[in-house]
């Protein structure tokens, strides 16, 4: 390995070095040589969920970024490399001796280091540029529990608890849940005073061995005084008998300056915990964590990191079913024989070949398309995404490359043989790799009319980009309100965006807040840009008017979404009926043009009475009767789910001051029904309400409402 200066240290050298750090012990040894302290290294491990590959890359990247002296960086890296090589030679000598003994005994074996070398050699290094971008790690969905899959149920929590069979693992799980040390110790502390005394005695002995010979007398005297023990000759037993409760234990460990992890370590050796007790402890920790806002998505990540495959599979299934989780999502079990993850509705596929992960490894792996995918990839200037961004829970580097097939946004006329694209892959927290890929080559990409496939060793996050901005097909989505008020003008809502950003967050928030009539997608127009400098002109033309808006092209290239409202001069008597022409221009070029008719219902007077047989919409009286018929909180919840509301939204409606453990809040239930009505066309309200009642098992309510319906 040749190192010239800090600036000349190639990223591939750091990757090669990271592959040699195969154990936690070696990670801490190398980290200390690079100048990290134990706390910093523990923080890196916790943040990467103890994934060795991610932890190695983050540690080495941080070290490189912090170096200011070229000669010093050079010398440090040489020493680290030499220590790794010396350790490898020593290990090889030991393995050779073991192999010699095995041959003499007639045993054919493969040494552990040989197995590791075979795995390392199986990975064909990817020649890529590596850079850091910590902004990509922000979690935009943390404020909304539904966007994180909702809260895990008791059954899901129990499935995690059943996977924990020892106290040390329970401790590690508590740390992954980010519970305070005192909270974890409080759950695992022995329930009876005799066991507590025994634990205190062992902690005292551990502390006594650590204290220097010159300090023992002074520190013991102070400890006796702290516990008001007058007999200076009293031994450890006398002090340990003072420790009877959990608060006593926490205070005692602080006086001895023992970390909570040390307390749990000693506890696991001197106190007997049957598996049922350990699982009960874990369940208590999980319940406390959920009470503090823990989500399914986070519990899934933790279960995967601990290889709780059965629990992870159960949680992932519930995330897929959760109505408030918007990201396309799938999951499956991957082992040494390989496997496949698919999102059929988006024509996405990740094929992992046999031998891509080590033998005896079996993992529950997830695949998703994040909502804010454009902000996830730190593109270089002049590049645009040509595929969606995918995220996979497979954070380790594969021994053999997977084949990824994604929908692509390049116009078919731009599929030239000399098309150049770039592959972006996430290597660890805040660390990305970038390399150029060529068409129709073994390590390149293959493109068809709708799909592009490419190989990669890294699946944590990846996407393809191109500097050919003219080839990307952008989208112009036209939305119409479901109805308009008698005083409202006919309105078009138009969203112009990168194809990855099909449903802008601002529009979603406005829809969910119900601050305006619900909008529905009417048509999608695709177009390509002619210039990176000229802004777009969006024109809406009808027989009697012309409305024009400007769309900044630079924001569009960066992935920003532009939402524009066009008010059309039509009266309620026309029912919003009008024929319009929508045109997108850039400079002197017309990028797209489409003619379309518009027609919207006028919002009815919900307070007006309707005669039997002439019921056309869900009137105020109908909703009032329904809120009087459905009283049980379970029935109201089930109906809310069938009407399309998420779990947390239903709870906001029904958890009111006038509700009880069994009876629903009448005002909240009626508010939920009224808000649902705002999201449905008037002429579809009655049929959709009847269907929702039947699916919720409330057919009796339909019969009561039959005179209305």
The pLDDT averaged over each successive group of 10 residues in the chain (709 residues) is: 51 77 83 81 67 77 76 78 69 50 42 44 61 62 74 94 91 91 87 86 87 80 82 76 88 87 85 89 96 93 93 94 84 94 92 91 92 72 88 90 93 67 88 87 85 94 89 88 71 85 52 58 89 92 82 85 78 62 93 85 79 77 87 89 83 80 82 88 87 88 64
Give 414's DSSP letter.
G
**What distance separates the 2 farthest-apart alpha carbons in the chain?**
104
Q: What is the pLDDT, as a whole number, of residue 104?
A: 44
Q: Give the pLDDT of residue 557.
A: 84
Element (H, E) at 428: strand 421-428
Q: What is the layout of strands, in order, in the sheet containing 402-407?
A: 339-343, 348-352, 402-407, 451-456, 446-447
Question: pLDDT value at position 510?
Answer: 47
Of 273, 315, 265, the residue nearest 295 (C-alpha) = 315
pTM of the predicted structure, to 2 decimals:
0.69
CATH 1.10.533 range(s) for the chain read 6-122, 620-704
Spatial contact of 131 and 432, defined as CB atoms under 8 Å apart: yes
Place of tokens 């305006």: 516
State the helix-helix crossing angle for 70-104 and 24-33, rounded to 10 degrees: 150
**Strand partners of residue 546:** 541
Q: Please say whether the beta carbons of 296 and 317 come within 8 A.
A: no
Q: What is the pLDDT of residue 392?
A: 94
Question: Residue 37 burial (CB < 10 Å; 0-12/13-18/19+)?
Answer: exposed
CATH 2.60.40 residue ranges for the chain: 474-602
Q: Are 603 and 485 in contact (CB under 8 A)?
A: yes
Comparing CA positions, the residue from 246, 365, 241, 349 lying closest to residue 301 is 365
| Residues of each domain in the chain carrying CATH 2.60.220.30 | 325-470
Position 416 scores a pLDDT of 61
Tell me which residue of 284, 315, 317 sits closest to 302, measured CA to CA: 315
Query: How far, rounded to the nearest angstrom, does the alpha carbon of residue 284 sit from its chain's CA centroid?
Result: 24
Q: What pLDDT is recorded for position 88? A: 61
Helix (H, G, I), strand (E, B) or coil at 283: helix
The CATH number of the domain covering residues in 325-470: 2.60.220.30
Assign domain 620-704 one CATH number from 1.10.10, 1.10.533, 1.10.1760, 2.60.120. Answer: 1.10.533
CATH number for 474-602 (one of 1.10.1330, 2.60.40, 2.40.128, 3.40.50): it is 2.60.40
Fold of domain 6-122: Death Domain, Fas (1.10.533)
């Amino acid at each position: 390995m040749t190192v010239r200066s800090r600036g000349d240290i190639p990223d591939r050298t750091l990757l090669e070095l990271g592959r040699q750090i195969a154990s936690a012990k070696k990670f801490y040894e190398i980290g200390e040589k690079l100048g990290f302290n134990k706390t910093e290294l523990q923080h890196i491990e916790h943040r990467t969920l103890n994934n060795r590959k991610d932890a190695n890359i983050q540690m080495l990247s941080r070290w490189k970024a912090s170096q200011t002296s070229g000669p010093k960086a050079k010398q440090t890296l040489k020493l680290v490399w030499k220590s790794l090589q010396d350790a490898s030679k020593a290990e090889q000598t030991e393995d050779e001796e073991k192999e010699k003994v095995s041959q003499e005994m007639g045993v054919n074996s493969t040494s552990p280091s040989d197995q590791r070398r075979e795995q390392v050699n199986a990975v064909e290094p990817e020649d890529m540029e590596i850079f850091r971008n910590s902004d990509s790690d922000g979690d935009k969905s943390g404020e909304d529990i539904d966007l994180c899959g909702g809260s895990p149920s008791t059954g899901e929590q129990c499935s995690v608890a059943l996977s924990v069979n020892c106290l040390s693992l329970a401790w590690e799980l508590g740390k992954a849940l980010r519970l305070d040390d005192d909270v974890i110790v409080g759950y695992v502390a022995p329930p009876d005073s005799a066991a507590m005394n025994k634990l205190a005695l062992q902690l005292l002995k551990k502390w006594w061995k650590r204290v220097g010979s010159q300090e023992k007398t002074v520190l013991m005297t102070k400890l006796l005084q702290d516990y008001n023990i007058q007999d200076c000759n009293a031994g450890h037993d006398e002090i340990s008998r003072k420790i009877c409760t959990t608060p006593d234990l926490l205070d005692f460990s602080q006086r001895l300056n023992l970390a909570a992890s040390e307390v749990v370590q000693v506890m696991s050796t001197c106190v007997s915990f049957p598996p049922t007790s350990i699982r009960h402890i874990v369940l208590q920790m999980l319940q406390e964590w959920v009470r503090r806002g823990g989500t399914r998505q986070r519990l899934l990540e933790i279960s995967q990191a601990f290889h709780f495959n059965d629990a992870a599979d159960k949680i992932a299934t519930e995330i897929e079913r959760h109505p408030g989780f918007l990201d396309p999502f799938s999951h499956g079990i991957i082992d040494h024989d390989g496997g496949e993850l698919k999102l059929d509705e988006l024509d996405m596929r990740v094929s992992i070949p046999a031998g891509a992960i080590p033998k005896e490894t079996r993992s529950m792996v997830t695949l998703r398309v994040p909502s804010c995918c454009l902000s996830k990839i730190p593109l270089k200037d002049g590049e645009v995404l040509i595929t969606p961004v995918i995220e996979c829970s497979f954070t380790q580097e594969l021994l053999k490359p997977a084949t990824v097939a994604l929908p692509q946004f390049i116009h078919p006329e731009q599929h030239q043989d000399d098309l150049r694209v770039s592959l972006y892959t996430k290597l660890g927290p805040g660390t990305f790799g970038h390399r150029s890929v060529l068409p129709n080559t073994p390590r390149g990409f293959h493109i068809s009319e709708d799909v592009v496939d490419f190989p990669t060793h890294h699946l944590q996050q990846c996407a393809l980009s191109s500097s050919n901005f003219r080839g990307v097909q952008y989208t112009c989505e036209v939305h119409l309100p479901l109805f308009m008020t008698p005083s409202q003008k006919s309105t078009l809502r138009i969203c112009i965006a990168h194809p990855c950003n099909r449903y802008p967050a601002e529009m979603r928030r406005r829809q969910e807040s119900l601050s305006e009539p619900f909008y529905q997608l009417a048509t999608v127009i695709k177009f390509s840009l002619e210039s990176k400098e000229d802004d777009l002109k969006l024109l809406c033309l009808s027989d009697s008017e012309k409305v024009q808006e400007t769309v900044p092209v630079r924001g569009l290239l960066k992935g920003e979404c532009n939402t524009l409202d066009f008010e059309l001069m039509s009266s309620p008597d026309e029912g919003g009926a009008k024929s319009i022409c929508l045109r997108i221009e850039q400079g002197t070029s017309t990028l797209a043009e489409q003619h379309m008719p518009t027609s919207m219902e006028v919002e009815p007077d919900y307070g007006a009475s309707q005669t039997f047989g002439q019921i056309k919409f869900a009137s105020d009286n109908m909703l009032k009767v329904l809120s009087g018929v459905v009283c049980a909180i379970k029935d109201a919840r089930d109906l809310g789910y069938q009407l399309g509301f998420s779990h947390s939204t239903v709870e906001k409606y029904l958890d009111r001051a006038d509700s009880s453990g069994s009876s629903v809040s009448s005002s909240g239930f009626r508010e939920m029904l009224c808000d649902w009505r705002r999201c449905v066309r008037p002429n579809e309200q009655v049929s959709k309400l009847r269907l929702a009642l039947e699916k919720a098992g409330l057919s009796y309510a339909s019969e009561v409402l039959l005179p209305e319906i």
